[in-house]
Chain A
Amino acid sequence: MSINSTTNKNFTNFYQVKTKHSGLLSWLLTTDHKRIGIMYLVSILTFFLVGLTFAFLMRLEMLTPGPTIVDAQTYNSFFTLHGMIMVFLFIIPGIPAVFGNFFLPLQIGAEDVAFPRLNLMSYHLYLVGAFLALYSLIFQTHIDTGWTFYVPYSLRTGTDVTLTLMAAFILGFSSILTGLNFVTTCHRMRVKGMKMFEMPLFTWALYSTAWIQVVATPIIGITIVLVLLERSFGFGIFDPTLGGDPVLYQHLFWIYSHPAVYIMAIPAFGVISDVVATFSRKSVFGYKVMAYSTLAIAVIGYMVWAHHMFTSGMSDTARTVFSFLTFFVAIPTGVKVFNWVATLWRGTIVLSSPMLMALSAIFLFSIGGLTGLHLGAISTDIHLHDTYFVIAHFHYVIIGGILSMFIAGMHYWFPKMFGTMHNEKVAKTGVVMYFIGANVLYFPMFIMGYMGMPRRYFDYLPEYQIYHVVSTVGSWILISAILLMFINLLIGIFKGKPAGPNPWGAKTLEWTMPSPPPLLNFIETPIPNHDPYDYHDHDERVFREAKEKEKEIINQENS
């Protein structure tokens, strides 16, 4: 990479490229994986903000016992909306669709994904599904089934779940196509000389995730179709009055929806691996084990679905088996956490905003992960099932872990995606606020959950009020932190200083090109290292001096 690419003025980047269409169509009809990634980013964050609004309203409602701002029925549709939007529109597509699309080809030295047109189609499906979901959720009768659509209630409820289910089906299809595309891309598009075990761990994570998307999502597809048909024709498949068994619905639902948790989590783990390696200036500790553990989580995660059903009337044998398998999944996950920490050991740690976020994510995720074991044990699960303990557990995992990792990824790859730097100080303040907010919001939930506060209730006994108040205050802190970081990034896009090709000193291939990347990504065919995080010849002092020089050049050019 030549030095004169500091400000990238010599290159036409993928934003500036003239295409067949212009204006909005040049985005909506593009097959460029980077543009599709950006489109996903914009849509996903929009839906995230909608879901966040409902979360905020729910917390506000729980401030006092009895009706505070809404009545019980509205509260029911609030938690359905919140769950549905956050799960199907934000967190499942989240990292694979945004960063996966943008960075998978870049990390393996490819020009694009294997099936670019399919990729665009999968975005269109996402868009259609999302609008259908939002339309049905907000403008139709307010559905109140929760995001799980459990039968027989979803068969009987007078609210209009049909459209919502169709939306979920279409979104599932979009997810399948993305997965199919990524698996093929990882196998077929690697640059010459890069072996499977020389791919960056984020790519490995995407690869494993893509497999889950391919082999798990069809199951939810057929389940949704069955509920739809059952509602209209009365096939008797799930309806207990006709001979069906609702527990079998739960089996089918969780055969997908538990692996879906790993669709959310595994790519997030990949982001952390990349971020931790980069800012420790060290190769990831136990690279191969990390890659294998990613696959292991994907495989074992596929076999643990029924731990959501310990109180649904399963047989004792099944409960024991699934409890055992559930503990098993903690092993590869534990391996990952230990390896991240071991990567830090004797590293040259640079506490930039993505790194700070990643460290906070590891801590919060560990709390979420370890409390998962309480729920995986049958005896404690009977006590804790459907209480706020469960809510606290998975929000520690999703907000503390996965959303943190998403935001860490956003800060980490921001310079590459937009070619400018964000304000590091503001970002770091945001991270600290986020950490405090998440703990204040979710930790009281563990306590009241253990005391017996059930989830999905809009009312509660006065003795829980103190916890609810603390929790609601926490939600305000968390939301301000998120908004602060987003606004900071938004300002960074327009006002930030040019970033240069590699502001963080990272070693993976996406940093070898100007930022934002040119249309066909690589100027010259990249030569991959055997170790994707090869820092053996890295001298931090030299790197910082080079960065200072780069800054001077940028300042001169701007003045």
Chain B
Amino acid sequence: MSGHNEHTSVDQHDHVPSYGKNVMIWLVLVALTALTVTVASVNLGDYTFFFAMLIASVKAMLVINIFMHIKYDDLLMKGILVACGFIFMVIFVIYSFDLFNTYTG
């Protein structure tokens, strides 16, 4: 007797990641780091924060998808990731209603 679904009990050995692809991603990440440092030295006014966060998010997406293997995982794994990201966003958004009006209003 077993309590769980047998057919998925052990990780599928389908996708063996390659060396090359990971090195490529690493190169992209390094390039993006260089980019973000360069952009920081240019005065973009209000857009500085936006650009820094944009580049950081792209880097984060690459790490999550390739290094952390989420791209090759199933829908459930992706689903919980999206759900948690959503909750995190919601906290920030509704929390902002207080901040902006208290400190800048």
Contact = CB atoms under 8 A, between A and B. Distances in A.
A192 B87 contact: no
Interface in B62-105: 76, 84, 87, 90-91, 94-95, 97-98, 100-102, 105
Interface stretch (B3-11, B22-30, B34-42): B3-11
Given A188-B4, A190-B5, A192-B6, A255 B91 contact: yes
Interface in A90-113: 105, 108-112
B3 A191 contact: yes
Interface in A111-126: 111-112
A29 to B, nearest CB: 22
B31 interface: no
Given A187-B76, A192-B6, A325-B94, A525 B1 contact: yes
Contacts of A520: 1
B84 A215 contact: yes
Query: Size range of the interface on B?
Result: 10 to 19
Contact of A315 (B5, B87, B97): B97
Interface stretch (A18-26, A316-324, A332-340, A493-501): A316-324
Contact of A251 (B2, B5, B95): B95
A554 interface: no
Contact of B98 (A190, A215, A306): A306
A243 B95 CA distance: 20
A262 to B, nearest CB: 14
Interface in A201-230: 215
Contacts of B97: 315, 317-318, 321
B94 A303 contact: yes
Given A187-B76, A302-B87, A110 B98 contact: no
Interface centre among B4, B6, B84, B102 (most CB of A within 10 A): B4
B15 to A, nearest CB: 21
A118 B41 CA distance: 48
A306 B97 CA distance: 11
A316 B101 contact: yes
A331 interface: no
B4 A110 contact: yes
A524 interface: yes
A187 B3 CA distance: 11
A189 interface: yes
Nearest to A522: B1
A318 B97 CA distance: 5
Nearest to A312: B98
Contact of A322 (B1, B4, B94, B100): B94
Given A215-B87, A255-B91, A302-B87, A109 B101 contact: no
Given A215-B87, A251-B95, A303-B90, A190 B4 contact: yes
B56 to A, nearest CB: 21
Given A255-B91, A303-B90, A189 B98 contact: no
A314 interface: yes
A322 B97 CA distance: 9
Contacts of A316: 101
Contact of A314 (B2, B5, B6, B102): B102
Interface in A527-544: none
A192 to B, nearest CB: 6
Contacts of B76: 187
B49 to A, nearest CB: 20
Given A302-B87, A303-B90, A317 B4 contact: no
B3 A110 contact: yes
Nearest to B96: A318
Contacts of A303: 90-91, 94
A304 to B, nearest CB: 9
A393 B97 CA distance: 27
Interface in A286-315: 299, 302-303, 306, 313-315
Contact of A108 (B3, B87, B91, B98): B3
A108 B101 CA distance: 48
Contacts of B5: 188, 190, 192
B54 to A, nearest CB: 25
A189 B101 contact: no
B4 A315 contact: no
Contacts of A318: 94, 97-98, 101-102
A247 B95 CA distance: 12
Nearest to A306: B98
A102 to B, nearest CB: 15
Interface in A163-209: 187-192
Contacts of B3: 105, 108-112, 189-191
A187 B76 CA distance: 9
Nearest to B8: A188
A306 B1 CA distance: 48
A192 B8 CA distance: 11
Contacts of A314: 98, 102
Contacts of B95: 251
B1 A315 contact: no
B75 to A, nearest CB: 12
A520 B84 CA distance: 34
Given A192-B6, A303-B91, 14 more contacts: A110-B4, A111-B2, A190-B5, A191-B3, A247-B98, A251-B95, A313-B102, A314-B98, A315-B101, A315-B102, A316-B101, A318-B94, A318-B102, A522-B1
5 contacts: A111-B1, A215-B87, A247-B102, A251-B98, A318-B94
A-B pairs, 6 with minimum CB distance:
A315-B101, A110-B3, A318-B98, A318-B97, A525-B1, A189-B3
